[in-house]
Amino acid sequence: MTNIQIYDTTLRDGTQSEGFSLSANDKVRVAQKLDEFGVAFIEGGWPGSNPKDVEFFERARDMKWKNALITAFGSTCRAKGGPEDDANIKALLDSQTPVCTIFGKTWNLHVTDVLLTTLEDNLRIIEQSVAYLNANGKRVIYDAEHFFDGYKADRSYALETLRAAIRGGAEMVVLCDTNGGSMPWDVERIVREMKAQITHPFGIHPHNDSETALINALTAVREGAVQVQGTINGVGERCGNVNLCSVVANLELKMGYECLPKGNIQHLYDLSHFVAEVANITPDEHLPFVGKSAFAHKGGVHVAAMRRSAISYQHIDPDLIGNKMRVVVSDLSGRGNLLSKAEEHGVEVDGTEVVPILNEIKELEARGFSFEAAEASVAIMLKRQEYGYKPPFELIDFFVNVEHRQGRGIFAEAMVKVRVQGEVLHTAAEGNGPVNALDLALRKALVGYYPRIAHFYLSDYKVRILDSDHGTEAITRVLIDTRNTNSRWSTVGAGTNIIEASWRALADSVEYGLMVAH
């Protein structure tokens, strides 16, 4: 089985992504997670470019790394100068990493118009920079910047830049699609032509500006590339780098290559979400393989088939990468969706008993409800259908008053009348708004019978106007997130009256919590 080196540049190239930033401590945490995951190389940053990278390399050199080699990144030495007195090369050596990755110019346009030197001098600085680092005990990976664009502009010169790096002692030459504009068939053709001229280990570093980074990476591997450089979740400058989560999953599960220590791919989902969490960004839950929606099933026909055969609408078993299959309930659902949801929540209902709930959900969604993000509302609707179920409370009346009084300003007061275990309870409470007042009044009524309600916390309250062209008569959808010390759940309400919509979501939230929370 062929082994493919996974070279992670999340800490360097990934941090060039707009909105994605890591402190030195964040970098250390992510690097440790990547090492546990089993990548071959972790590119820590560009030494000397900023204090965070300096601190990272200082801390990294004293740490134990189980699987990965820490790599410092930089450029070739200056044009018309030598590596021995180049500040960038000195910073690479000072980082004390076992591996250095340097990039050089492949495209003649960049040599003459950006670097402002001659084609011959560019070949010299590539060879000398690699050789100097090599002579100082460093393993060197050479990134051929703009390789595919350079090859199209001047095939012979692009290949000469690779030969210069190889003469200098580079152990790997990496073909970079820096602008992210190459098509897979061009990558395939160019790599084949390159291999016919140069027999040396090579890798691929694709960007995603044309949404082709993944297929370009996989194509290069099929053509003999033994290293893929990319980032976790595909973060990176402009449209990002190739997503290593998809690279690893496809190589190991679909193509028969080995990228990681045996069994480590089952931590792929956790790694993806860990990196997003450390960077304090919202995970993209629609990412292939690692998104929560990657194995979420909404269509009734799909779910019905899935209940007979789990592989009927899934390309892999999500357990292989630490993800899981989910069933989503909506107006597109069939009985299978609700039966799956009932099983998930431990509710005992059969196919005929879910039909009224299915019809109600379809009707409610037509009126503005959305149950995809409010599974607790679905669960409690199913529970109410279960034989012998007695709800913990029954609403009789509620009243909300919002006033402005001189000297006090705005305040809200709510009255709630509920029946609990045959007793009618009538409570009132003040709050900082009408929903808060309703919440407090309901809790006051129930806490004597259900003490654990004191540990329910409203953690989020979202309001969305669905038909804004109706002005103040518009339908409002309310989503409420509630949590206790062990779990979190979401409920929904909708209608032209925001208080009524909020009450429904609030009452469902409390009932669900009393049903399942401990």
The mean-pLDDT minimum among 215-229, 329-343, 473-487 falls in 329-343
Check: CB of residue 360 under 8 Å from CB of residue 320: no
pLDDT band at 221 (very low <50, low <70, confident <90, very high): very high
| H-only helix segments in 198-260 | 213-222, 244-249
Mean pLDDT for 98-126 is 94
Phi first, then psi, for residue 298 (nearest 5°) are -115, -40
Mean pLDDT for 254-261 is 96
Rounded to the nearest angstrom, the gap between the alpha carbon of residue 268 and the centroid of all alpha carbons in its chain is 11
- Residue 61 pLDDT > 80: yes
pLDDT band at 385 (very low <50, low <70, confident <90, very high): confident
Please indicate whether residue 201 or residue 481 has the higher confidence score (pLDDT): 201
**Would the CA dihedral through 179, 183, 186, 192 be positive or negative?**
positive
Nearest to 226, CA basis, from 46, 43, 41? 41
pLDDT for 458: 84
How many CB atoms are located within 10 Å of the residue 77 CB? 24
**Cα gap 266→109, rounded to integer Å:** 44
Please indicate whether residue 127 or residue 421 has the higher confidence score (pLDDT): 127
DSSP state of 415: E
**Cα gap 143→103, rounded to integer Å:** 4
The CATH number of the structural domain formed by 5-278 is 3.20.20.70
pLDDT for 495: 81
Mean pLDDT for 357-365 is 70
- Residue 332 pLDDT > 60: no
pLDDT band at 55 (very low <50, low <70, confident <90, very high): very high
**Cα gap 452→454, rounded to integer Å:** 5
The mean-pLDDT minimum among 31-45, 194-208, 300-314 falls in 300-314
Mean pLDDT for 347-360 is 69
347: left (phi over 0), alpha (psi -120 to 50) or beta: beta
pLDDT band at 343 (very low <50, low <70, confident <90, very high): low
Phi first, then psi, for residue 60 (nearest 5°) are -65, -35
pLDDT for 389: 80
Check: CB of residue 307 under 8 Å from CB of residue 339: yes
**Three-state SS at 383:** helix
pLDDT for 518: 44
pLDDT for 351: 65
List Cβ<8 Å contacts ≥24 apart for 56-63. 56/11, 56/24, 56/27, 56/28, 56/31, 57/95, 57/96, 57/97, 59/24, 59/28, 60/28, 60/31, 60/97, 61/95, 61/96, 61/97, 63/28, 63/32
pLDDT for 333: 57
Highest mean pLDDT among 171-175, 290-294, 326-330: 171-175
Mean pLDDT for 289-306 is 72
Check: CB of residue 20 under 8 Å from CB of residue 281: yes
pLDDT band at 267 (very low <50, low <70, confident <90, very high): very high
Identity (one letter) of the amino acid at 495?
G
**Cα gap 401→157, rounded to integer Å:** 79
Task: For residue 491, list its beta bridge partners.
Answer: 480
Mean pLDDT for 137-151 is 97
173: left (phi over 0), alpha (psi -120 to 50) or beta: beta
pLDDT for 334: 60
The three-point CA angle 409-414-416 to 5° equals 175
pLDDT for 309: 67
Check: CB of residue 426 under 8 Å from CB of residue 484: no
pLDDT band at 213 (very low <50, low <70, confident <90, very high): very high
Nearest to 45, CA basis, from 60, 33, 67? 60
How many CB atoms are located within 10 Å of the residue 144 CB? 29
Mean pLDDT for 10-37 is 95
Q: What is the pTM of this model?
A: 0.77
DSSP state of 254: I
pLDDT, the chain, mean: 88
**Cα gap 330→365, rounded to integer Å:** 7
pLDDT for 326: 67
Check: CB of residue 3 under 8 Å from CB of residue 259: yes
| Residue positions counted in the chain | 518
pLDDT band at 463 (very low <50, low <70, confident <90, very high): confident
pLDDT for 468: 67
Q: Which residues contact 290 (CB under 8 A, 6 or more apart)?
A: 233, 245, 268, 269, 272, 273, 321, 323
Please indicate whether residue 89 or residue 355 has the higher confidence score (pLDDT): 89
pLDDT for 83: 95
Say how many CA atoms lie within 13 Å of 161 toward its Cβ: 33
**Would the CA dihedral through 187, 193, 195, 198 be positive or negative?**
negative
The mean-pLDDT minimum among 111-115, 259-263, 327-331 falls in 327-331
Highest mean pLDDT among 16-30, 356-370, 379-393, 477-491: 16-30
pLDDT for 476: 83
The CATH number of the structural domain formed by 292-385 is 1.10.238
pLDDT for 327: 66
**Cα gap 236→16, rounded to integer Å:** 5
Check: CB of residue 482 under 8 Å from CB of residue 368: no
Where along the chain do its domains lie? 5-278, 292-385, 402-449
Same fold for the pair 5-278 and 292-385: no
Check: CB of residue 228 under 8 Å from CB of residue 247: yes
Percent of the chain with pLDDT over 70: 87
**Cα gap 212→53, rounded to integer Å:** 30
pLDDT for 328: 59
Mean pLDDT for 94-104 is 96
